[in-house]
Amino acid sequence: MALTWVNRGIPVVPCSRTDKGAMVPGFGKAATADEMAPFGDPEQVSRWWSSGRFARAHVGLLTGRTTPTAPATLGRGLVVVDLDMPKPGTEPLTGRWAGCAGGTDVLELLMREAGADWPETYTVMTPSGGLHLYYLQPENGPLIGCATGEGERAPHIGPLVDVRGVGGYVIAAGSYSAAQGRPYTRESPADLLPQQVPGWLLELLRPAVVAAPVRQQVPRPVVCGTSRADRYAAAALMGETGKVSGAPEGERNRALFAAARRLAELAPTAPAVLSETTTQDALLGSAREAGIGEQEALRTIRSGWSTGSRGAEAGAA
């Protein structure tokens, strides 16, 4: 089974029969080609499963990866949508997801909202009664990564739905779960291989890439104060908002938090200039300019402001 997938161009890793944990490290998202080589080497794979501690291991399929000789039919590797069943004692889903008894119901709800049909593809039933839907990574654009359950950003798409892409893995059909006493079973027709991700689902897993808008300077608040403290606070506000809007990718949230904290620490010295509302509005404008989503930005600003306020109170005590 392991060699079958390697011959299809998908690297594999031995996994525990009890907790599904990978038994060989080194295949993470940042792994180099040299580090990935053993997972796609037929000789190494044969040795892993021929004897010793890996002889009865699960076959883990590395998603978002291909072997150096991968056939064109598998393109850029796999992305697997994992439709889970809730664990015993879990509270029923509510709100938008009310009535959904598992990940399959969640995906069906998303499908109906999109006016689409059930996405036929290579499908595996898990020992818990869930489903793994295998797809090909998109031919163009960035590869899809991993996500667990509901979240604000793709590839999170809903509760009880996990996504396994770059850096992840799933257990292959034919592996037997010692913990649950059942095998992973292929449910799709024998001739059906992983298909392209349907458009409606791809929009959820990886929103369409659009051209970045030309940044426009966000008007900064101009506050005229009579005291030296007011003028200093106004200059600090201008400076901190400028740092946020100009922060590089990967540093934007950190810059936003630091700005909110510093301004909150300074606020007691110039409350007319650095009120919480004025400061939040100014920082939010800069965060939008930097490309941070509004809800994420608001959480970061409030967290930074709260931290800075506590520091200011401690300093005044």
The pLDDT, as a whole number, for residue 316 is 60
Given this model, what pLDDT does residue 178 score? 72
Mean pLDDT along residues 278-298: 86
User: Quick one: tokens of 152?
Assistant: 């604000």
Contact between 108 and 118 (Cβ < 8 Å): yes
Enter the pTM of the model.
0.66
Q: Collect all residues with Cβ–Cβ distance below 8 Å to 13 and sequence separation of at least 6.
A: 22, 23, 24, 27, 39, 60, 62, 169
- CA gap 264, 131 in Å, rounded: 49
Cβ count within 10 A of residue 177? 18
Worst-scoring range by mean pLDDT, 60-69, 154-163, 236-245, 288-297?
288-297
Asked if 62 and 27 count as a contact pair (C-beta separation under 8 A), the reply is yes
Mean pLDDT of the chain: 87
pLDDT at 104: 96
Q: What is the pLDDT at residue 245?
A: 87
* pLDDT tens, position by position, 204-255: 998 645 444 444 444 444 444 457 787 888 888 888 998 888 888 768 888 8
d(CA 69, CA 75): 11
What whole-number distance in Å separates Cα of residue 252 and Cα of residue 93?
A: 34
Which residues sit opposite 136 in a β-bridge? 78, 196
Statement: residue 5 has pLDDT above 60: yes
Question: What percentage of the chain carries pLDDT values higher than 90?
Answer: 51
| pLDDT for the residue numbered 213 | 47
- pLDDT score at 219: 47
**Between the CA of residue 157 and those of 83, 164, 173, 201, what are the distances in Å?**
11, 12, 24, 9
Tokens for 80, please give them: 């697997």
27 DSSP β-pair partners: none
Residue 53 has a pLDDT of 85
pLDDT at position 315, please? Answer: 62
Report the run of H or E that residue 83 belongs to, with start and end.
strand 78-83
The CA–CA distances, whole Å, from 59 to 4, 39, 87, 169 equal: 11, 11, 24, 10
Residue 215 is given by DSSP the state P
Dump pLDDT digits (tens) for 78-129: 999 999 999 889 999 999 999 999 999 999 999 999 999 988 999 999 999 9
User: Would you say 145 and 205 are in contact if contact means Cβ atoms under 8 Å apart?
Assistant: no
Write the CA distances from 239 to 160, 233, 283, 286, integer angstroms: 44, 10, 11, 11
3-state DSSP call for residue 263? helix
Confidence of residue 172 (pLDDT cuts 50, 70, 90): very high
167 has pLDDT over 80: yes
Confirm if 273 and 263 have CB atoms less than 8 A apart: no
